[in-house]
Structure 1
């Protein structure tokens, strides 16, 4: 299969595929490569944040989206993580929140 056919079939950028093939890397390694920006919070911290949100929900303390963004910021600061969250607002952004909620669809939030 040529580059063009592979990129159309799998929805990959052609130039990225060419660069990885030129590296002569093992195909198993190429499959595990994650493209794009690294997540602000590692998986284990996101799981901890999700667990904490569920604990608060069980105690009948409904969380708003704004509360989750502030907690994510505090998690990043507490764990000395390099992040792109807003230092003036002291919270995570809308894009991070949208991704977090899509990765954890079983979370429910307060709307008021």
Structure 2
């Protein structure tokens, strides 16, 4: 068994920290102050460098609450318009890193221009509305047609055809034919960020796989 730590988690007060800083300023060793005040040397070094006697527990948020709330809303909005962010995309320079690099002092990787994954894990815990989900690929052509104006125009024309052929009230004479492409190769769906509980998260992606097309034709009555 390893050596049991004799320090409880931050069981020291601000007065104790101020006393320990005063002892360090009087050229007492960190070992002596650690045993005299029951404060770990690592904590003593932190307060000695910062000059602050405020107690700080855990990891600190890089963004403010308002900034994180705005980021949460943007992530949900991107998912709703079929452009969901991936975890890697959120961490890369065009999202979080570029913003904090310009406006905020941060511990992110400046060489690779990447936000640290510890920040991402903390962000996900603080915002339970967002969850990881598997994206459903959508062909770009279909994504373009999934537009309220185009959909409304389609049903307007469909209504005109039904009226012209006198098919209203005669569902057994109305047929629809559709086709479905079935992938023959294994396809791994990509993890993306979306609103927790969302049934689907579409990600526009090109089809680069061999397919078999199944065609079905059925009337409105199901025959």
Q: TM-score, normalised by structure 2?
A: 0.35
Which structure 1 residue ranges, 5 or more long, are not aligned?
A: 1-10, 24-32
The 3-state SS of whatever aligns with 2:105 is coil
Q: What do the CA deviations read for 1:12-46 (whole angstroms, capped 9, x no partner)?
A: 4222xxx23659xxxxxxxxx76344321111111
The 3-state SS of whatever aligns with 1:108 is strand
Aligned position for 1:30:
none
More off after superposition, 33-42 vs 55-64: 33-42
Report the CA distance between 1:110 and its aligned residue.
5.2
Aligned position for 2:99:
75
Does 2:132 match 1:106?
no
In the TM superposition, 1:1-112 aligns within 5 A as 12-15=9-12, 19-20=13-14, 35-70=57-92, 71-78=95-102, 80-109=103-132, 112=190
Distance 1:22 1:89 in 2: 41
Distance 2:71 2:100 in 1: 11
User: CA RMSD of the aligned region, Å?
Assistant: 2.3
Structure 1 residue ranges (4+ consecutive) displaced by more than 6 angstroms after TM superposition: none
Q: 1:110 and 1:64, CA in 2 relative to 1: closer, same or farther beyond 3 A? A: farther
Instruction: State which structure, 1 or 2, has the greater radius of gyration over its C-alpha atoms.
Output: 2
Number of residue equivalences: 89
CA contact (8 A) 1:73 1:91 kept: yes
Determine which structure has the larger helix proportion and give its number: 1
Q: What do the CA deviations read for 1:77-104 (whole angstroms, capped 9, x no partner)?
A: 34x1101111122121110000001111
CA contact (8 A) 1:54 1:107 kept: yes
